[in-house]
Amino acid sequence: MKLDRRLVIKILEEKIKSEGIVLGSDILKVDSFLNHQIDPFLMSQIGQAFAEKFSHENISKVLTIESSGIAPALMTSLQLQVPMIFARKHQSRTLNEEFFSASVYSYTKQTENQIAVSKRFINPGDRVLIIDDFLANGQAVQGLLDIINQAGASAVGVGIVIEKRFQAGHQLILSKNLPLVSLASIDRFEDGQVVFSKQGETSHVN
């Protein structure tokens, strides 16, 4: 049965309104269902929504960054029946082989991280879908694109659970001519409340 993506978006937006906490003028905390405690039923629907939207792209890998992107990326890869890879933010003792790496600035934490993916897991010819929980200034996506380019693979699209449309990430991705699907698109924060874009889901898919 085909997923009603509009219903998934409505459920996601209601979750954000009822459980999200706005901090200052540009931070949204959603740790009750997305990036600390996980709502598995909602994540399953989100994964199906992304998989259906990008089903024509012949995807071979789904790529994200630890840790908040793992839940939606895993559910997407399950629907697409392809492996999911997450870039590690810190080199572990077991990651002693050659790896692709990139520098990523975290807007929320205001720190810079080196992210890394083993060269065994992304290969030339791979068609890679990037999935992440938030899109703000687009630095996480840029870092993942750098790794994909180092591997000689192709980025075929970007799926975002929650997009802060008022920040630079949206235009950054579109400037690279990449298909972008953002399920919940936030126009602004006003008096401690989330104001969603009147456009609803933003979708720029070839």
Residue 3: pLDDT band (50, 70, 90) is confident
Domain 5-204, classified CATH 3.50.50.60, yes or no: no
Can you say which residues are annotated as belonging to the binding site for 5-phospho-alpha-D-ribose 1-diphosphate? 136-140
Q: Please give the pLDDT value at position 109.
A: 67
Q: Please give the pLDDT value at position 198.
A: 78
- For residue 22, report the phi and psi dihedrals to the nearest 5 degrees: -85, 125
Asked if residue 110 lies in contact with residue 96, where contact means CB atoms within 8 angstroms, the answer is no
Find the angle CA(21)-CA(25)-CA(29) to the nearest 5 degrees.
Answer: 25
Q: 108 versus 7: which is more confidently predicted? A: 7
Residue 107: pLDDT band (50, 70, 90) is low
d(CA 200, CA 7): 12
pTM to 2 decimals?
Answer: 0.92
Residue 201 three-state SS: coil
d(CA 30, CA 85): 23
Q: Please give the pLDDT value at position 94.
A: 54
Can you say which residues are annotated as belonging to the binding site for xanthine? 28, 35, 164
Q: Where are the beta strands (DSSP E) in 24-168?
A: 27-29, 61-65, 84-87, 99-106, 111-118, 127-135, 154-164
**Mean pLDDT of the region 66-80:** 96
Can you say which residues are annotated as belonging to the binding site? 28, 35, 136-140, 164
Residue 25: pLDDT band (50, 70, 90) is confident
Domain boundaries along the sequence of the chain: 5-204
